[in-house]
Structure 1
Amino acid sequence: MTANTPILTFASTDLILEIPANVEHQAQLHSQSFADIGSYQAYVNELCLGAVLPWLQEDFTPQAKVWPHTKALSSFWELVNGTAVIVDATRFILVPSENIDSSELRVPQEWVDIPSWVGDYYLAVQVDPDEGYVRVWGYCTHEQLKNKGNYDPGDRTYALDAMDMIADISILTVAQEFCPHEVTRSLTPELPTLPQAQAQNLLNRLGKSEVVTPRLAVPFSLWGKLIEHGGWRQSLYEQRLGLPEQRSVAQWLQRGVSQIAADLGWGKLDLQLSAAGARSVEERQPGVSLSRQLAIAGQVYELIITPQGEPDAPYWRFELRNATVGAAIPGGFKLRLLTEDLQPFPNNEDIATTAVEQLYVEVALEAGEGIVWEIEPLPDSYDREILKF
C-alpha cells in the first residue's frame, strides 16, 4: 500500500487489501471479453477477487477456491454482480462496489434466492481501482439478509443496513473456528421447473446484446431457473458475445475442440480423421473419441465420449474410467445422462454396486439434441454443461 492511501479515514475494523499489479492488468484484458454492460462489472469483480481470495487463502485455508470454477466466472459476471468462494464447506459471496457509501450492503437477488447459489457469508467490498486497493467493511449471513434485509423489486437486490451487519472482519475468522455450527442460511425454496422450449425462447430473446440488463427483463422465477442451469447460463453468455455454438460434439470431432471447451479440459483421443475434410460422423475413423479428466474424491477419472453404430443408425457411448491404469471405479459411483432440461429417460444411468472397471451409458440422439452429464460423487468444480450432438 502506498503511503498516500487515505487509510486513516477508514474504521479501524475495516480490512484494507492491495490489488496486485498483475491482477489489475489481467482484469483490463479480460474485461474485453464481455458485452458492453458486463465489461466494467467483470473488471470490478476481478479486482475484488484478486485482492480478497489471497486473504481468504492465508487467513482461512490455502484450499479456498472460486465456485464453481474460475473458467465459469465470465458467464456469471456478464449477468450478475458478485463472486462465490468456497472455504472448506463454507461459501463466501464477495459483493463488490465502487460506491464509497458504506451505509448498506446491496446483494443481487440471484445470490440470495437461487438455491444452489446461496452463500453462508456475504462480504461488502468497496473497490477503488485508481488507488489500487479494496476495503472489506462488513459482512452478514444469508439468514440476516432474508430476515432483516429490504427487498427492492426495482433492481432486484436485498439491502441490509450497515447497523445490522458485523463491521469487525476479524470476528469472521473467530466465528469460523469456534462457531462451526452457526445457522447461516435461511431455507430457500426451489424455483419452478423451466421447460426446455421456454428456456430456448428466453435464450434467444435475452441473448441479444441490445437487451441491456437481461436479469431484469423477465420475471425472476424464470430468470433464476435459467441461469441456475450451468449450461443455459454459459449459452446465454456466449450468445450475448455473438459466439457460434461452442459445444457441438460433432464439430469437435470434425474440426477440433473449441477453445472454450479446451479450457474446461476437453480434448481428442486419436486425432486422426478418415480423410482430409471429413464432414460427418460416418466419415470419421472408428475409435476417435473425446475425453475430459475429472477429479473426484481425490482421484483422477476420465469421461470419454465415442461415436458408435452404423452410419445409418449412429449412437453415442459415454464412459467413465479411472485415469490410473488398472485402477477401478469404487462402488457407489453413478454416471447419468439427462436431457437438456435435466429430465431422465430410460436406461440413462449406470451405477457401480461394487468396484468396476468402467461405467457407461449409450444413447441415440437426434441432430442438434443436447445432453447433460452428471457423476456421483460430484467431480471437483462441477458445473453443468450442455453437449450438442
Structure 2
Amino acid sequence: MKFNLSLDDLSLIYPEQVFLEFSPEKREQLWQQTQRQNYSNTAARWNAYLNCLCLNTFLTYLETEPDVPGIPKVWHQLADLPSVWEVVNGTAVELDKVRLVLIPSEASTFTELRVPREWVELPEWVGNYYLAVQLNLEECWLQVWGYATHQQLQEKGRYDRMDETYSVDAEELIEDLTVMWVVEELYLSSKHQVQPLPRLSSLEAEALLEQLSQKTPYSPRLDVPFVKWGALVADDQWRQELYQRRLKQLVSIVEPREVTINLGEWFEDIFKTGWQSLDRLLTTDSENLALSFRGDRSTLREVRNVAVEGIKLIDLGMELGNQSVALLVGLVPEAEQRVGIRVQLYPAGGKDYLPPDIKLALLSQSGTNLLEVQARIQDILIQLKRFTCPIGKGFSIQVALNHFSITEEFVIELLPGTVS
C-alpha cells in the first residue's frame, strides 16, 4: 500500500486497523532527542528515530485505550534502548505478563511483517504479539496493519536465512487489536517454548566483541553465525559493551582500515569476513535467493565464465527498511598473471527485484571511479562490465543507495601452489 490517500480515506478503507497521528512538533522533538543520543552510524540513528517515534505514539494510544489490560512498560529499560536500536529493529512493550513487539517501517509499500530473528528466538526477547507499524513521516501518522503471534511466526512464518528474519504476508495479520485484548482476558495467549542458545565463554565473548566493534555503516548482526550473535546480544552486559565499543570507534584518533579480501584464497576455497562460496550457500539455502541463482551450478559458472564465485549479503540498513542485496564476485585465472573478474548484484531477502537506483561501482586503489551501473525499476540484477586485474594489485567494489554506501576492498595474492 502506498501513501497516496488521506488519513480519513485510509480509515474508511481499513476500518479494523489502528491509525495514530503525531504532531510535527513531536516529530521534531523526538528527532532532536535521537540526535543527542550516541550511535555509531547514520543507519542506526535513523532506526532509533523510527523506533522512538513509533514507541512514543503507541504508548500514548495504550494509555488512553480503555480495553488495554495493565499499565504499559517499556522493555528493556529506557536507558538500554540505544544498545538495542544500534543493532536491531524493534521495541518491546509489556502489559502485565503480555509482551508486544513493535516493528516499525517507513517503506511506502507494505506487503509483509518482517521480524528480526532476535525477537523470535532469544528467550529473553520473545514476545506474545508482533505489531506491524508503517510510519508516514511527511503526513505525521502511523498505521498499525495488524499483528502476528509468536506461534504464528514460528509455525507459519517464512524464515529467511539471508537476513535472519521471520516474515508473514500482510493478509495473514490480524487487523483488529481488540481481538488481542480479548484473548488476553480469556488467558488464551501463549508463547512457544524457545530453547536458550549455548552460553558463550568469556574468551568467545571477547573475541566477538573485538570483531563486531569495528566501524561499519550497518549493523554487524549478519557478520557472525546467529548462534553466537544471539548469545552475545541476549546478555545485557555484553550488548552494552558492544554498544560502547562501537561508539569508541567514532573518536579513535586513527581511523581503522577496511578489511581487504584476498581473492587468491578463494581458489583454495578459503572465504573470510562475511563472504562465502556461492556453491556452499546454494547447497544449504537457495530458497531466499533470486531465481537467477538457481539451477545447475556448474552450468551457471560456465555461462558466467568464472571458475570460483564468492557471495556476500549486504544489509542496506534499517533506514532503508532492512532491504538486502547479494554481491556476487566471480573469478577465472587468465594468461600473463591476470585474473578475470565479473561482479554482479542481485536482490536477496526473498525479493524479486533490486531497489531502484541502487548503484554498483568499481573503484581503483586510489578511489577513482572506473565503472558504475545503476538499477532501474524491476531490475533482477545489475553487473559491471567484465574486467581483469593483475596478480598483486587491488581494487574496490562499492554498493550505494541514497545515503547508504559500503565499500569492499580486494587484492589478488595467489597462495603457494595455486595454478594461475
* TM-score normalised by structure 1 residue count: 0.58
Q: 1:149 to 1:61 in 2, by over 3 A?
A: same
- Residue identity matched to 2:133: V
**Superposition RMSD on alpha carbons, in Å?**
2.1
Q: 1:44 aligns with which of 32, 47, 50?
A: 50
Inter-partner Cα distance in structure 2 for 1:86 and 1:200: 32
**How far did 1:31 drift?**
2.9
- Does residue 16 of structure 1 match 2:24? no
Inter-partner Cα distance in structure 1 for 2:8 and 2:244: 41
Q: 1:140 aligns with which of 140, 145, 148?
A: 148
Deviation per residue, 1:98-125 (Å, 9 max, x gap): 1233331100000001111000011110
Inter-partner Cα distance in structure 2 for 1:118 and 1:132: 30
Inter-partner Cα distance in structure 1 for 2:167 and 2:191: 16
Q: 2:203 aligns with which of 197, 203, 207?
A: 197
Asked if structure 2 preserves the Cα contact closer than 8 Å seen for 1:75 and 1:237, the reply is: yes
Q: 1:118 to 1:81 in 2, by over 3 A?
A: same
Inter-partner Cα distance in structure 2 for 1:238 and 1:61: 36
- Does residue 67 of structure 1 match 2:68? no
Asked if structure 1 preserves the Cα contact closer than 8 Å seen for 2:88 and 2:219, the reply is: no
User: Which runs of 5 or more residues in structure 1 are unaligned?
Assistant: 245-389
Which residue matches 1:26? 29
Which residue matches 2:190? 184
Inter-partner Cα distance in structure 2 for 1:144 and 1:236: 32
Inter-partner Cα distance in structure 2 for 1:47 and 1:223: 27
- Does residue 161 of structure 1 match 2:169? yes
- Does residue 216 of structure 1 match 2:222? yes
Which residue matches 1:86? 94
Inter-partner Cα distance in structure 2 for 1:161 and 1:43: 25
Task: Extract structure 1 runs of 4+ deviating beyond 6 A.
Answer: none
Asked if structure 2 preserves the Cα contact closer than 8 Å seen for 1:104 and 1:160, the reply is: yes
Q: 1:232 aligns with which of 217, 227, 238?
A: 238
Which residue matches 2:40? 35
Q: 1:103 to 1:243 in 2, by over 3 A?
A: closer
Which residue matches 2:123? 115
Deviation per residue, 1:167-197 (Å, 9 max, x gap): 12232232232x22x2431111010110111
Which residue matches 2:308? none
Asked if structure 2 preserves the Cα contact closer than 8 Å seen for 1:13 and 1:168, the reply is: yes
Q: After TM superposition, list the pairs within 5 Å mapping 1:323-338 onto structure 2.
A: none
Q: After TM superposition, list the pairs within 5 Å mapping 1:272-311 onto structure 2.
A: none
Inter-partner Cα distance in structure 2 for 1:6 and 1:134: 9
Asked if structure 2 preserves the Cα contact closer than 8 Å seen for 1:82 and 1:96, the reply is: yes
Q: 2:179 aligns with which of 158, 171, 184?
A: 171
Asked if structure 2 preserves the Cα contact closer than 8 Å seen for 1:19 and 1:50, the reply is: no
Q: 1:211 to 1:40 in 2, by over 3 A?
A: closer
Inter-partner Cα distance in structure 1 for 2:78 and 2:62: 16
Inter-partner Cα distance in structure 1 for 2:79 and 2:29: 14
Which residue matches 2:62? 56
Give identity over the alignment, percent. 39
Inter-partner Cα distance in structure 1 for 2:49 and 2:155: 31
**How far did 1:29 drift?**
2.0
Deviation per residue, 1:61-99 (Å, 9 max, x gap): 562010121111111111100000010110000010112
